[in-house]
Amino acid sequence: MALSELLILIVITLSLRFGLGLRPRARGLILMLASILAIFWLQPTTPVRFLDFWLPVATLFITIGSWLLTAEPDQKRSHANLVTLALVTVTVLLIALTRYLGLADLLGGIRPPQFGQVVIGTAILLAFSWLVARLSSSKKFWLIGGIIFLLVLFVILKTPIMALAGSIVLRGLVGQSLASASPLDIRWLGFSYVAFRLIHTLRDRMSGRMPQVSLQDYLTYVIFYPAFSAGPIDRLPRFIKDLQQPLILFSPQLGDAFYRLAVGIFKKFALADSLALLALNSQNAAQLESIGFSWLMVYAYAFLIYFDFSGYTDIAIGLGQLLGITLPENFNRPYLKTNLTQFWNNWHITLTQWFRAYFFNPFTRSLRSKYRALSVGWIVLITQLSTMVLIGLWHGVSWNFVLWGLWHGLGLFINNRFSDWVKPRLSSLKMQPRTQRGLDVLNTVLTFHFVALGWIWFALPSVPLSLGVFARLFGLAG
Amino acid sequence: MIDFKFFRNVILKALLLFILLNAVLLALPTESNARQLSLYNHLAPGRERFPFGETPQQAYNFSLYNLEAMFASHELSAKKHDSNVRRIYVLGDSSVWGTLLRTEETLAGQLNALDLRCGQDQLQFFNLGYPTISLTKDLMLLQRALETEPAADAVLWLTTLEAFPLDKQLASPLVANNLQQIKSLKTQYNLPLDLPVGNDSLWQRSLWGRRRVIADWIRLQLYAIPYAATGIDQIYPDFTPAAWDLEADESFYQFNPPEMARDRLFYQALPAARDMLASVPLLVINEPIMISGGANSDVRYNFFYPRWAYDQYRRDLEDVTAEHDIALVDAWDWVDARQFTNSAIHLTPEGEQLFAERLSTEVRKMLCDP
């Protein structure tokens, strides 16, 4: 997102705050409608014709489908929820009409298709939603089906060859040249985070922990625009609690919001964008000659990714605060932590918590109960490796992300085993505070370097290129 | 309860800080001969040629117009003093800067590779070329270069007819953005240049007015790291070869045969450089051009020059340099037409090497056999 777009978003959000202050009862509705408009506005244009219109529509109807799977039958039939569904449909149709009113530029670069096509497409999606509502129940079968659907979609989008096939199919549908198809054609803004939120609600519904919420609140939670494209991944019960709190127009939260926005803008647009000029990337990785400056470029990448991502989080939290929603923190000085476990407890916190809740913990419990003979060490190794590889694959299905996951999985395993081994030995030493501080500094430096070197896998597109950078850094390149 | 006092104080403090910062900037001179802060020549090695380029993210290089920042990033500004080294500045346009050439393939690079010596002294060549064609731009860079320490021991000034028309002297963006320097040159050497009115208002000197200069300076420093890590300062795309078949057009700018009016060409730049350099040896070199053998080559030498105009220029150049006692090497036909790349003045690495080898004899003659 460009700085100018962000400033527009801040002004709109501030106006919304005052609007919400004047009409507290309509808060949920206004936030939902604003979020719907925002996901169309934020959606990048796509080379495949009209896809930039249909992707936000798909986000909306997948969310509606997910709500239908989690809702009780009486909720599905309630008047309020039907009104919400009608409002969403009308909003989509109105957005489609911007094509004829010369207002398409108001919604960014997207170009809606002809109105007739939108009516037919929306009718098909509504019919599909109706079928889901009629046939489904909140039984495990349907909920698992919903999760599998989301995962399949996710794998298609993140696997280059499948994304390419998807692009070819879509291009064929709209009669565009198949020769120019590319895996990058399907730029579905925010889908990764939407999928996380939806899987969270489906999974919690299975375990009976999900509160019953209206379609309006559910939609607002899933597509809440400050956190739509880059998180944080909030939890539904916490989000709804904030949504139901009254919004006080002039409160310390307003000052906090501006502080977070200012910090976020500085991190993203001053620090991260500057570091991007010198950070390691796929182009310069193959050109490196100097060892010392290569290290500097790896450090630059480590700080680039931190300032970029934590800057976006600050902006999301600031925008959320303007609207009276306190989104969860995602970063807590991760590079100052003394070991890798602590690093992961403080880096992209909501993602790690999600994986811990929905994969790591259940998987660990399952291994412990099914394979009682398996030692603790093996269980730690298997669960850490699989969790981190999955987190890697979430970023994209490629060998480099697998290796990045393995790097951290192994690091966490070694850290876990080493901590267990060293703790009793160190406690008997009764170290001086100064020695302890020195050891902490050393551990922090080591942890930072482990993470920074791990970013080489993450930043580059291929294994040989990454190995070349490692060789250069350690003076092994010719 | 709304704490308006708090919001008022925040706004007042922000305003005060903004005014103070601008006041500091307004108080600072906009151009300073003091060495500018730079990562180059300190943390990172100095650049072997001036920053220039349109593809910063690929070339780790870009065009900026702040002369001080440009010089501070150049290896010329490195604090090195070796009494056994003679510093020779090589001045000129893109053919000297080295379009499509790596730094070691440029004229300065090839001359350095020849490891030329005068007795015990090694000759070190510095590439001060800049890819726009204007004698005024060259004079401005020369004047600034002469302020660096240690002093220059000689200057090679490569030029061509395209750099002479008076009407295009200020067309180079580097010149257009440094009119203060040009004004001083004009006054000092009584140059026939028509300068537009400069804009040195308070607004231009404020933080807002100088935002481009500040942003460019920061970008230049940031690119020091990838430049130092990779040694890359230019990309080398596929190019269209210089035109071989030519239009049957005899005009050159506003000039038509049989004669170019000398007063519309900037020959005054040559004695100005002579005066500027005082006792420092100056060698003016009429740089090699591609001599086409294609269609209409009886009318034009190449895309740039009709034969009549270029021939007259060579005669005039010889007259003017002789008149002002300036050494001249007319290298116009030294390089075979096949050794040019995308322009009638850009040489291939091999062409540049041949040129450097032949030129080295003239250079040694001027510097070593006084």
| Interval B179-199: pLDDT, tens | 989 999 999 999 999 988 766
pLDDT at B370: 62
Looking at chain B, which residue has its C-alpha nearest residue A291? B229
Q: Is A284 on the interface with B (CB under 8 A)?
A: yes
Over 80: is that where the pLDDT of B204 sits? Answer: no
pLDDT at A1: 78
The average pLDDT across B217-244 equals 94
Looking at chain B, which residue has its C-alpha nearest residue A251? B2
Q: Encode chain A in three state secondary structure.
A: CCHHHHHHHHHHHHHHHHHHHHCHHHHHHHHHHHHHHHHHHHCCCCCCCCHHHHHHHHHHHHHHHHHHHHCCHHHHCCHHHHHHHHHHHHHHHHHHHHHHHCCHHHHCCCCCCCHHHHHHHHHHHHHHHHHHHHHCCCCHHHHHHHHHHHHHHHHHHHCHHHHHHHHHHHHHHHCCCCCCCCHHHCCCCCHHHHHHHHHHHHHHHHCCCCCCCCHHHHHHHHHCHHHCCCCCCCCHHHHHHHHHCCCCCCCHHHHHHHHHHHHHHHHHHHHHHHHCCCCCCHHHHCCCCCHHHHHHHHHHHHHHHHHHHHHHHHHHHHHHHHCCCCCCCCCCCHHHCCCHHHHHHHCCHHHHHHHHHHHHHHHHHHHHHHCCCCCHHHHHHHHHHHHHHHHHHHHCCCHHHHHHHHHHHHHHHHHHHHHHHHHHHHHCCCCCHHHHHHHHHHHHHHHHHHHHHHHHHHHCCCHHHHHHHHHHHCCCCC
> Which of A195, A196, A205, A197 has its CA nearest to residue A142?
A205
Q: CA separation (Å) from B309 to A86, B259, B260, B321?
A: 78, 7, 7, 18
pLDDT at B31: 54
Cβ pair A300:B225 closer than 8 A: yes
Is residue A195 a contact partner of residue A45, using CB atoms and an 8 Å limit?
no
Nearest to B2 among A250, A284, A300 (CB): A250
Q: Which residues of B touch A284 (CB under 8 A)?
A: 60, 226, 229-230
Q: Which residues of A touch B226 (CB under 8 A)?
A: 277-278, 284, 293, 297
pLDDT at B197: 79
pLDDT at A131: 92
Q: Which residues of B touch A274 (CB under 8 A)?
A: 218, 222
Q: Which residues of B touch A300 (CB under 8 A)?
A: 225
pLDDT at B9: 86
Over 90: is that where the pLDDT of A23 sits? Answer: no
Q: Is A293 on the interface with B (CB under 8 A)?
A: yes
Q: Which residues contact B294 (CB under 8 A, 6 or more apart)?
A: B243, B244, B245, B246
Q: Which residues of A touch B3 (CB under 8 A)?
A: 250
Q: Is A361 on the interface with B (CB under 8 A)?
A: no
The average pLDDT across B50-79 equals 94
* % of chain A residues with pLDDT over 70: 99
Indicate the pLDDT class of residue B4, thresholds 50, 70 and 90: confident
Is residue B108 a contact partner of residue B126, using CB atoms and an 8 Å limit?
yes
Nearest to B229 among A255, A277, A293 (CB): A293
Residues 376-405 of A with CB under 8 A from B: none
How close B9 comes to chain A (CA, Å)? 13
pLDDT at B35: 64
Cβ pair B230:A289 closer than 8 A: yes
The average pLDDT across B6-21 equals 86
> Which of A145, A169, A317, A166 has its CA nearest to residue A230?
A317
Cβ pair B229:A288 closer than 8 A: yes
The average pLDDT across A243-268 equals 90
Nearest to B218 among A274, A287, A289 (CB): A274
Q: Which residues of B touch A269 (CB under 8 A)?
A: none
Over 70: is that where the pLDDT of B89 sits? Answer: yes
Cβ pair B222:A290 closer than 8 A: no
How close B219 comes to chain A (CA, Å)? 8
pLDDT at B211: 86
pLDDT at B295: 94
The average pLDDT across A309-315 equals 97
Indicate the pLDDT class of residue B235, thresholds 50, 70 and 90: very high
Over 80: is that where the pLDDT of A459 sits? Answer: yes
| ipTM of predicted assembly, 2 dp | 0.82
How close B218 comes to chain A (CA, Å)? 9
Choose, out of A254, A293, A297, the residue to mutate when testing the contact with B (most B CBs < 10 Å): A293
Nearest to A278 among B6, B225, B232 (CB): B225
Indicate the pLDDT class of residue B29, thresholds 50, 70 and 90: low
Q: Which residues of A touch B233 (CB under 8 A)?
A: none
pLDDT at A335: 98
* % of chain A residues with pLDDT over 90: 77
pLDDT at A249: 80
Nearest to B223 among A278, A288, A289 (CB): A278
pLDDT at B23: 81
Q: Which residues of B touch A297 (CB under 8 A)?
A: 225-226, 229
Is residue A330 a contact partner of residue A305, using CB atoms and an 8 Å limit?
no
Cβ pair B223:A277 closer than 8 A: yes
How close A404 comes to chain B (CA, Å)? 24
Looking at chain B, which residue has its C-alpha nearest residue A285? B230
Q: For residues A82 and B277, what is the distance between their CA atoms, to the nearest angstrom?
A: 86
Choose, out of B225, B227, B232, B235, the residue to mutate when testing the contact with A (most A CBs < 10 Å): B225
How close B341 comes to chain A (CA, Å)? 25
Nearest to A277 among B44, B222, B230 (CB): B222
Phi, psi torsion values for A363, nearest 5 degrees: -65, -40
How does pLDDT run across B305-336, given as a tens digit for each residue? 999 999 999 999 999 999 999 999 999 999 99
Q: For residues B76 and B146, what is the distance between their CA atoms, to the nearest angstrom?
A: 10
Q: For residues A335 and A448, what is the distance between their CA atoms, to the nearest angstrom?
A: 6
Residues 236-265 of A with CB under 8 A from B: 250, 255
Cβ pair A297:B225 closer than 8 A: yes
> Which of A425, A445, A22, A395 has its CA nearest to residue A192?
A395
Over 60: is that where the pLDDT of B30 sits? Answer: no
Nearest to A288 among B222, B223, B230 (CB): B230
Taking an 8 Å Cβ-Cβ cutoff, which residues of chain B contact chain A? 1-3, 6, 44, 56-58, 60, 218-219, 222-223, 225-226, 228-232
pLDDT at B32: 52
Paired tokens of B360: 């080295």
User: Mean pLDDT in chain B?
Assistant: 92
Cβ pair A278:B219 closer than 8 A: no
Cβ pair B3:A250 closer than 8 A: yes
Task: Please give the model's pTM, rounded to 2 decimal places.
Answer: 0.89
Cβ pair B44:A293 closer than 8 A: yes
How close B117 comes to chain A (CA, Å)? 30
pLDDT at B149: 86
How close B175 comes to chain A (CA, Å)? 27
Cβ pair B230:A284 closer than 8 A: yes
The average pLDDT across B241-266 equals 94
pLDDT at A422: 86
How close A250 comes to chain B (CA, Å)? 6
Cβ pair B229:A287 closer than 8 A: yes
Cβ pair A284:B226 closer than 8 A: yes
